[in-house]
Amino acid sequence: MAWRGLAHRGWGCGQAWAPPAGGCSSEELTAALARPRLLARRFNFLIQQKCGFRKAPRKVEPRRSDTGRSGEAYKRSALIPPVEETVFYPSPYPIRTLVKPFLFTVGFTGCAFGSAAIWQYESLKSRVQSYFDGIKADWLDSLRPQKEIDFRKEINKFWNNLSDGQRTVTGIIAANVLVFCLWRVPSLQWTMIKYFTSNPASKVLCSPMLLSTFSHFSLFHMAANMYVLWSFSSSIVNILGQEQFMAMYLSAGVISNFVSYVCKVATGRYGPSLGASGAIMTVLAAVCTKIPDGRLAIIFLPMFTFTAGNALKAIIAMDTAGMILGWKFFDHAAHLGGALFGIWYITYGHELIWKNREPLVKIWHELRTDGPKKGGGSK
C-alpha cells in the first residue's frame, strides 16, 4: 500500500518527487518527505538482517612488495617459506636502502678476515702447546690400564679420521640443521621470517644478510647445499687453510646477499631469499678456478663427468640468464655474486687481503705479550 501511494504521488522508481497539481499544505509535505525515509530504513534493516544483520567489514589486503614493474604477482619458490602474510614496505628512495647494507658488507668482510688472521696466530701457538701436551698424554696412557670399550676414545678416533676440511664444515652443517629445525617451530615463524630471510624491502636489512646464509626452509635445499659443501670442503681448506676459508665463506654469504639486494632494487622484483647457495657458489668457483682441469660429476648422474672449468662457465651462464630473464625459482643474483667473488678472491683477493695481514698480526702479538717490559734498577 505504501509503495502504491508513493507511486500515485509521483514516487515511482527512477522518478523525482513532484507536488500535486492543486498544491499541498506544509503538513502534507512533511509527511510525504518523512515516509520514504522511514521505508528506506526498514528496507535496509531487512537487507542487513537477511545478510547476517551487519555487513562484514572489507578485509584489507596487505601491500606486498613482491610485485615487479609489470604488476605481475611474485611467484614464490618452493624453497622459501610462505611469506604472503608478511607486509614489506619498499622505500620511496630505493638507492638509500643500499647504503647500510653496503657499509655492513665492507665492515663485516674486514672484521672476518681480521679475526681469521688473529685466529690463525692463536691456532699456531695452541698447536705448539698441544704437541708437548700430546707427548705427555701418550706417556701417561701407556701406564694406565686400558678399558675394553671407551666411547669417548672412539669418538675422538672418528673425528681424527676426518680431513681438516670436513672437520671445519661440520660446525657450519650443524648450524644449518639447527636453523632448519627452528623453522618448524610455529611460534618462531615471524622471528625467522624477519631475521633469517633477506629482503631489501624489509625493515631489518643487515643481520639477515648473514643469518640467511645458515637458513633453509626446504629439506631438499639444505641437503643439496650441505652435500656440495662437504664434497668441496677438503679441497678448499687445503687451498686456503681453515681460518682463511671461514673468513671467505662468511664474507661470501654477506656479499652474495648484497648483490641480491642490488638486483632486487634495480629491477623492482622484491622478495625474500635464504640459503647458503651464494656462499657455496663462492667455494665452488674458487676450487674450479684453482683446479680448472679437475673432473666433476652431477650427484644423480655420476657417469657423466666434465672439467671444473667448463662446469663453472655453465653455472655462470645459467645464473646470468636467470637474473636477466627474471627466473624466480633460485636467487640467481646471489649465485652469480658468490661465483664472481670466488673467482676474484682466488685470482686477486688472496694477494691483496690475506698476504697483507702481517701488520695486524704484529699489533695483536704486541698486545698479547703486553710489549717489552721496562726493567728498573734495584735499590
38-51 confidence digits (pLDDT tens): 444 544 444 444 44
Instruction: Check: CB of residue 25 under 8 Å from CB of residue 19.
Output: no
3-state secondary structure of 126: helix
pLDDT at 60: 44
Distance between CA atoms of 270 and 198, rounded to whole angstroms? Answer: 10
Catalytically annotated residues:
277, 335
pLDDT at 159: 76
Question: What's the pTM value of the predicted model, to 2 decimals?
Answer: 0.72
Lowest mean pLDDT among 149-163, 192-206, 283-297: 149-163
pLDDT beyond 60 at 220: yes
93/124: higher pLDDT: 124
pLDDT class of 288 with cuts at 50, 70, 90: very high
pLDDT class of 77 with cuts at 50, 70, 90: low
Bridge-based pairing of strands 305-307 and 295-297 is antiparallel
- pLDDT above 70: percentage of residues in the chain: 66
pLDDT at 149: 53
pLDDT class of 155 with cuts at 50, 70, 90: confident
On average, the pLDDT of the chain sits at 76
Instruction: Check: CB of residue 263 under 8 Å from CB of residue 323.
Output: yes
pLDDT at 324: 85
pLDDT beyond 70 at 68: no
pLDDT at 307: 86
Distance between CA atoms of 322 and 173, rounded to whole angstroms? Answer: 28
Map out the domains of the chain as residue ranges: 95-134+162-370
pLDDT at 20: 46
- State whether CATH 1.20.1540.10 applies to domain 95-134+162-370: yes
- 132 alpha carbon, distance to own chain's centre: 44
Distance between CA atoms of 121 and 364, rounded to whole angstroms? Answer: 9
Lookup: cell for 80? 622459501
